[in-house]
Chain A
Amino acid sequence: MSGLPMLTLLTVLPLIGAAIALFSGKHARGVALFIALIALALALVVWSGLPSDGSIGMVELHKWAPSLGIEYHLGVDGLGALMLVLAAIVTLMSVDAAHRVHHQPGLYYGLVLILESGLFGSFTALNFFHWFLFWEISLIPAFFLIKLWGGARRGPAATQFFIYTMAGSVALLIAFLALFLSTGSMDFRQLTQMAASGELETLVKSHLGPVMLWLAIAVLAGFAVKVPMVPFHTWLPAAYAEAPSPVTMLLTGAMSKMGVYGLLRIAIPIFGPQIAQIRTPLLVLAVTTVVMGAWAAAAQKDLKRVFAYSSVNHLGYCLLAIFALAVPASGAATVASQAAALNGVILQMFNHGITAAALFWFVAMMQMRTGGHRGIDDFGGLRKPAPVLAGLMGIALFSSLGLPGLNGFVGEFLIFRGAFPLAWVAATVSVLGLLVTAVVILTVIQKVFSGPVKEHCSGFPDLHSSERMALAPVIGLMLLLGLVPQLIVGSINPTVQNLLAHWRF
């Protein structure tokens, strides 16, 4: 396999699929399913072929525009490969979930596949230009998926989403321009090395003056919009609620991970000391994200908005852990905590992707069965007419709540295990978020599944066999990862050690 440019193949495949899907009309969903399956298989091949020492493997390096520091530089480590697998799974789920696209199906599935390519590209790029290309590419299909197939207020939602993300992109671009001017490089690995040796800060200072902190803030802002972090989150509820549910699955399951991934691959390695310097305000924002996300979820009446804010809350834990571990290593205990926190972050990214996508899938099914109802009070007693749906959705909900034995628990446990010794105040306050999330999830279960059956829900059909078949692997994965987290942790732990060894705060 070493001879094949696997990562290029993986990125190009969905683009080819998109071109075919565009012109295959009614058969577009079949094409998209097929392509998404192959992409998942390829992603698994990449995952299984990683170097065992946690370093970056499968490197492809070619000249592109040398005078601008632009190279075609691809590679993945455990973090990147896990994100590839996640993106492939979520895309497959999304295509699977979207089987009633009557309006321009060719275009719809084409855009979904372009989005998948954007995700793959940004999770494998090791040069800023290349990464930025795919980061922006993914934005265009996402915008049109919301704009053309969304709910009643899709226009403003799509525009708000677009403008927020663009503003973040401009901030990122400016920061990397500054780095390029100082170092002549846009390569993530070179910049990481320079940052680790302290050379980067000296160079920037001598070329541009003491602006390193501002560059760090610009980069953080770019990613904070995407994750999102309070106060840059206001685009999210509208976008998640107005987008068709299968698209929301992609947005929350995969696209939000681009932000966290960016923090881990780009912001922390290059701006470690600066982030350590402003760690306290960042931790305050992360804790606010956790707590506010949970409270806001508790206040919602629309199931999609409940899960949207709950996503903000869940990704807040990732932010908490990332900023908590941004301290200079002082002894083995700190390093162990950092490693635990980072393992937790990566695991949480994957778990949240699967679980949140599954939850929005269930909402899609409920909407389809009741002619578009998705209010938390619109249902009731669903476990009577639809026990299987209630059972499976219950598993997904408990996974989201973080019940031990399901996948969500392990990630959050590791995050708190790592964060407590490193930032105990922030971690303690964040526990509040865990409690409120529990209340939110239990309220959803209570109101939707038990109580008297609402009139329009009496004929609510249960999951039919094809839906059960489609959901089974996803629910199975939640159980499997909850019981044997080693499946992922075993592979990402070397990467975590390798990353921490190259970071300097």
Chain B
Amino acid sequence: MLAWTIYISFAGALLEALLPKEKNALARWLALAMALAGLTIGVAGFIAGMGQGQVEIVHAAWVPSMGIHYLLAADGISRVLVLLTGIAAVAGVLFSWNIELRTNQFFAFFFALIGGVYGVFLSFDLFLLFVFYEVAIVPKYFLIAIWGSTRREYAAMKLALYSFVGSAMVLIGLLVAYTASGSHSTALTDLAHAGLPVSTQMWVFPLVFTGFAILAGMWPFHTWAPTGHVAAPTAASMLLAGVVMKLGAYGCLRVAIALFPHGLDPWGFAYLGIGSWRDVFALLAVIGIIYGALVALAQSDFKFVIGYSSVSHMGFVLLGLMTLNQIGLDGAVLQMFSHGVIAGLLFAIVGRIVYDRTHTRQLAELETMHLARRMPFAAWAFVIAAVASMGLPGFSGFVAELQVLIGSWTTNPLWTAGAGIGIIVGVAYTWRALQMAFFSDIVPGAHVIGQEQAHPFAAVTWPEVTGVALLAGVSLVVGLYPKILLDSIEPAVKALLAGGVQ
């Protein structure tokens, strides 16, 4: 059933592309219907899959001579991420309601991207996964280059180049694994059982992991993320931070870690306390957490604050992956979901609700605008998003980051300490942005108030309210009752760990 998420999205992309140009309203409603259909299937598949392990959906030979399969399957991790994609797609459509320029084409690219993302999360054949992964890159470029803002060509090109370099690294790994395993199957399970020599895994693992981690925003390969997020139109920022970065993290887990587990073994020597690739990537993750947070603290552009915060929060995902234990990996997957929702919410408020009315993202200018009074909905929505993003209990981020911290502590307390510093800085930058943008202390003079009253901001629209309610509600529900997702994630992680990962 879940396979239909892919087909519906690509069908949606095709339909949108074929629509006559002037029918903007039709394009919007069609997009919403398609996104909702995808989400409904995702939810149904999630519910149906509860309590089940890995379920095969479609298994057909594709290129039999090379052992390439059209193999779609889902385990608990896939189902959670498909659910996330569905939510992000619906929210993305809602926050694109005001797109007037070539509306149908915008949604065509949008759904091509969504279809690719669904495909990656459901592929259990490495070749197929790679195809979907590439499919997802192209629409990102056009979404930013055509509908973007600040230095959009530069950002779009940078994003595409980074993605392609990452893909090339992944491709090399794919080919090595394929040939070394005897060249008879590209199915993930077959490759995992191929028994690649440890020496091969030792060099393929870092290559593939880095290739995927580029897209997950791993420091120092993160620089595409802030510029890309800022330049992208709101819905694309939401998708970039919300699901595309998760593609990278998912690839790290599903491909790099699961296929080349011995790449994580100790080298046999240690230099400065670093004795394996695992230590290297954990260190990079921790640096990313702290660096992203510190840079976010210094930004003057509201959207850049959120952009760098994504780098910091994705660091938790990578750190969770490197713990290689049950609770840390649970946390990593939950953090993928949680950050997808919360980052979407933040970008929606900053890039859409606020920017479309104030036409500035400079915190110094927003400070003089008294937005808490003139835009109370945006202000209080951002309070919720900020609280969720800081990782306060009651929201999804807390449970996820808590698990990553617990997992990393049992592995290496120093990582936990570093991540803890990142959390504290995270509180600081979020609170700074919140206060500067919405609750500044600058007292307006009488004539300013008069001017402001003469030019009130446009009222909030129903898609904005619905979108905020959807994302904030999901984060709250998962935060208060994480069992919903953990019941799916835990068995899947357990199976993964049992399948060869230490």
Contact = CB atoms under 8 A, between A and B. Distances in A.
Interface of A: 63-68, 129, 132-133, 136-137, 140, 144, 147-148, 154-155, 159, 162-163, 166-167, 170, 173-174, 177-178, 180-181, 208
Given A68-B403, A147-B439, A177-B406, 16 more contacts: A64-B481, A65-B399, A65-B486, A67-B490, A68-B406, A129-B393, A140-B383, A155-B435, A155-B441, A159-B431, A162-B431, A166-B424, A170-B423, A174-B420, A177-B402, A177-B405
Contacts of A148: 372, 439
B409 A177 contact: yes
Given A68-B403, A136-B392, A148-B439, A181 B482 contact: no
B420 A170 contact: yes
21 contacts: A64-B481, A65-B399, A65-B481, A65-B482, A67-B490, A68-B399, A68-B402, A68-B403, A68-B406, A129-B393, A137-B393, A154-B441, A155-B439, A163-B427, A166-B424, A170-B420, A177-B402, A177-B405, A177-B416, A178-B409, A181-B406
Interface string B430-457: 0100010001010000000000000000
Contacts of B409: 177-178, 181
A65 B334 CA distance: 13
Contact of A65 (B372, B383, B483): B483
A137 B486 CA distance: 24
A155 B434 CA distance: 12
A173 B427 CA distance: 14
A166 B426 CA distance: 12
B387 interface: yes
A177 to B, nearest CB: 6
A154 B441 CA distance: 8
A159 B490 contact: no
A170 B330 CA distance: 22
B98 interface: no
B149 interface: no
B483 A64 contact: yes
Q: Point out which of B387, B416, B424, B483 has the most chain A C-beta atoms below 10 A from its C-beta.
A: B483
Interface string B166-195: 000000000000000000000000000000
Contacts of B490: 67
B367 to A, nearest CB: 11
B327 interface: yes
A344 to B, nearest CB: 33
Q: Point out which of A68, A147, A180 has the most chain B C-beta atoms below 10 A from its C-beta.
A: A68
A68 B394 CA distance: 14
Contacts of A162: 431
Interface SS majority for chain B: helix
A311 to B, nearest CB: 26
A67 B406 contact: no
Given A65-B482, A67-B486, A170-B424, A136 B393 contact: yes
A132 B480 CA distance: 12
Contact of A181 (B410, B427, B431, B481): B410
A284 B399 CA distance: 38
B401 to A, nearest CB: 10
Contact of B394 (A133, A147, A174, A208): A133
A264 B136 CA distance: 56
Q: Point out which of A136, A144, A178 has the most chain B C-beta atoms below 10 A from its C-beta.
A: A136
Interface residues of B, number: 31
A172 to B, nearest CB: 11
Contacts of B383: 140, 144
Nearest to A63: B483
Contacts of A63: 483
Contact of B330 (A67, A166, A167): A67
A315 B38 CA distance: 58
Contacts of A136: 392-394
Q: 8 tightest A-B contacts by CB?
A: A155-B441, A133-B393, A65-B482, A136-B392, A133-B394, A65-B483, A132-B393, A136-B393
A250 B483 CA distance: 35
B402 A166 contact: no
Q: Point out which of A66, A166, A180 has the most chain B C-beta atoms below 10 A from its C-beta.
A: A166
Contacts of A137: 393-394
Contacts of B439: 147-148, 155
A155 B387 CA distance: 18
A154 B435 CA distance: 12
Nearest to B424: A170
A64 B486 CA distance: 11
A173 B406 CA distance: 11
Contacts of A129: 393
Contacts of B435: 147, 155, 159
A250 B372 CA distance: 24
Q: Point out which of B327, B392, B405, B424 has the most chain A C-beta atoms below 10 A from its C-beta.
A: B392
B330 to A, nearest CB: 7
Interface string B455-484: 000000000000000000000000001110
A140 B327 contact: no
Contacts of A144: 383
Given A136-B393, A154-B441, A166 B405 contact: no
Contacts of B327: 67-68
B428 to A, nearest CB: 8
B221 to A, nearest CB: 29
A167 B394 contact: no
Nearest to A66: B483
Nearest to A135: B393
A180 B416 CA distance: 14
A33 B63 CA distance: 73
A147 B441 CA distance: 9
A418 to B, nearest CB: 35
A112 B189 CA distance: 56
Contacts of A181: 406, 409-410
Q: Point out which of A67, A163, A166 has the most chain B C-beta atoms below 10 A from its C-beta.
A: A67
B488 to A, nearest CB: 12
A305 to B, nearest CB: 21
Interface in B80-134: none
Interface string B323-364: 000010010000000000000000000000000000000000
Contacts of B428: 163
A174 B482 CA distance: 20
A186 to B, nearest CB: 10
A354 B428 CA distance: 35
A149 B50 CA distance: 48
Contacts of A155: 435, 439, 441
Contacts of B486: 65, 67
Nearest to A22: B380
A140 B380 CA distance: 12
Contacts of B483: 63-66
Interface string B384-411: 0001000011100001001101100110
Contacts of A65: 399, 481-483, 486
B406 A140 contact: no
Contacts of B441: 154-155
A180 B406 contact: yes
B64 to A, nearest CB: 42
Contacts of B481: 64-65
Contacts of A167: 424
A166 B431 CA distance: 11
A266 to B, nearest CB: 16
